Amino acid sequence: DTAVSQTPKYLVTQMGNDKSIKCEQNLGHDTMYWYKQDSKKFLKIMFSYNNKELIINETVPNRFSPKSPDKAHLNLHINSLELGDSAVYFCASSQDGTGGNEQYFGPGTRLTVT
Amino acid sequence: GENVEQHPSTLSVQEGDSAVIKCTYSDSASNYFPWYKQELGKRPQLIIDIRSNVGEKKDQRIAVTLNKTAKHFSLHITETQPEDSAVYFCAASPDTGNQFYFGTGTSLTVIP
């Protein structure tokens, strides 16, 4: 029983396309996150949602739009994909948004834009 | 905002030797400091964490030390084994807010 799951695991698409990545957690956590990990392995937070409300929105192009239909799901939609969007995207969740709690990561989605 | 620096970026040690990875942070409001291990192609996973009311914490071969005055914390791995080879990330987080600030990662290679 996977705690944090993401689909798809791999995504190959062409520039200009629109794509979505889905994330679900069955831990009952209140807070969910999206991270981008580039080729140099840097882990950069993109968004944070607490109980379906956007809490953090780092400097991310507005082509990226997160959507949280309920607190167990946080999806990431990307419009007009660019080459520089190629990366591994990790979803994560934590018990609440106080910051002092372990983050549980999903398996990652490797996005390749050609 | 918080700035977390991590050194070294790569580290190679002989099996059985110790490995030390160091991180510094800038925001005195940070008081939770986890360490994550990411094996090749896998997700980051928590291996140990420390809070600011504690100076040191140990779990078998892994220990973390925190110097809140100097704003730095370190991961120590003793008797390293090949399966310790991975990328290690430190992070800093305040108790309030939802922010986690990750270091830039250290790629550790343990040579058999």
In Å, how far from its chain's centre is CA A92? 7
Among the listed ranges A89-98, B1-10, B11-20, B60-69, which one has the minimum average pLDDT value? A89-98
Considering only alpha carbons, which residue of chain B is nearest residue A48?
B98
CB contact B32 to A (< 8 Å): yes
Predicted local distance difference test score (pLDDT) of residue A72 = 94
In this prediction, residue B1 carries a pLDDT of 74
Q: Minimal Cα distance from B40: which residue of A?
A: A41
Work out the minimum CA distance from B18 to partner chain A, whole angstroms.
23
Which residue carries 């080879």 as its tokens?
A: B85
Q: In chain B, which residue's Cα lies nearest the Cα of A33?
A: B98
- Closest by Cα among A72, A70, A88 to A8: A88
Token duo for residue A43: 């882990």
User: Mean pLDDT, to the nearest integer, of B106-111?
Assistant: 98
B54 Cβ contact partners less than 8 Å away, ≥ 6 residues apart: B66
pLDDT digits (tens, 9 = 90+) for A47-94: 888 887 887 777 789 999 999 999 899 999 999 999 999 999 999 999
Residue whose C-alpha is closest to residue B50's, from B73, B78, B77: B73
Residue type at B101 in one-letter notation: Y
What gap in Å lies between CA B25 and CA A46, rounded to an integer? Answer: 20
Q: Give the burial string for A63-86 (b: 16+ CB within 10 Å, else e).
A: ebebebeebbbbbbebeebeeebb
- B8 forms beta bridges with none
How far does the CA of residue B82 sit from the closest CA of chain A (Å)? 21
**How far, in Å, CA of B94 to CA of A42, rounded?**
20
pLDDT tens-digit readout, B53-104: 888 999 999 999 999 999 999 999 999 999 999 999 999 988 666 678 899 9
Mean pLDDT, chain B, integer: 93
Q: Report the number of secondary-structure helices (H) and strands (E) in chain A.
A: 0, 11
pLDDT at A97 over 70: no
C-alpha A79/C-alpha A56 separation (Å) is: 20
Work out the minimum CA distance from A74 to partner chain B, whole angstroms: 15
Q: Which residues share a beta bridge with A36? A: A44, A89
